Amino acid sequence: MIIYETSDDRLREQRVADEVERAWELRLLRLPRLSEAGDYIAVMEGKVFALVEIKRRNVDHDHYDTYMIATRKINLLIDTANSLMLEAVVVVEFIDGTYWVNAHEMSRMPERQGGRYDRPEETTSVESTYHLPHENLRRLGDERPATGVEGGDGQGVVGGIQ
């Protein structure tokens, strides 16, 4: 696997994580780099309640008809969150703001082939992807994810964190 992430990318991702912490009044704890099951765990009122994947796109949120993300990434995020009885959330920073969606909602969207056609050397650059209409994205700050979990009871097996 070729890694395209730079130190500047990680700094921008941290800035988005800080914005999420302020908007949702919680803490995000960074998972190990290159974790396939999300970038952060979300802790609210001392309890872990979600896995969070943070993405960045250099376009407005409605530039394309849909927001596209790898099916593999969403399914792994959901499967891991469900096994821990946690929520699964995708946060995306666009040029015109930061938006989020419940990963379960993404998994109910149509699947199509998609990805980066400018990276022919990487076999995973074109793969099965979910396509979420941009109208389904929620602007960060308008609301926050429910602490109840589609795949579990919302209590989580990770336990309390201070």
Q: For residue 67, is it within any domain? A: no
CATH code, domain with 24: 3.40.1350.10
C-alpha span between 94 and 117 (Å, rounded): 21
Q: What's the total number of domains in the chain?
A: 1
Q: For residue 117, is it within any domain? A: no
Instruction: Give the pLDDT of residue 155.
Output: 44
Q: For residue 97, is it within any domain? A: yes
Q: For residue 129, is it within any domain? A: no
pLDDT digits (tens, 9 = 90+) for 82-136: 999 999 999 999 999 999 999 999 889 888 877 655 656 666 667 889 999 989 9
Q: Is the pTM of this model over 0.85?
A: no
Range of the domain at 21: 7-62+74-103+135-139
Q: Angle at Cα 139 formed by Cα 88 and Cα 133, nearest 5°?
A: 75
pLDDT digits (tens, 9 = 90+) for 8-53: 888 999 999 999 999 999 999 999 875 678 899 999 989 999 999 9
Report the half-sphere exposure of 87 (CA within 13 A, side-chain side): 22
**Residues 110-126: b if buried by 16+ CB within 10 A, e if exposed:** eeeebbeeeeeeeeeee
C-alpha span between 5 and 62 (Å, rounded): 24
Q: For residue 112, is it within any domain? A: no
Least Cα distance to 132 among 156, 149, 151, 108 occurs for: 108
Q: For residue 160, is it within any domain? A: no
Residues forming beta bridges with residue 41, ordered by sequence position: 29, 51
Q: What tokens were used for 132?
A: 């979420």
Q: For residue 52, is it within any domain? A: yes
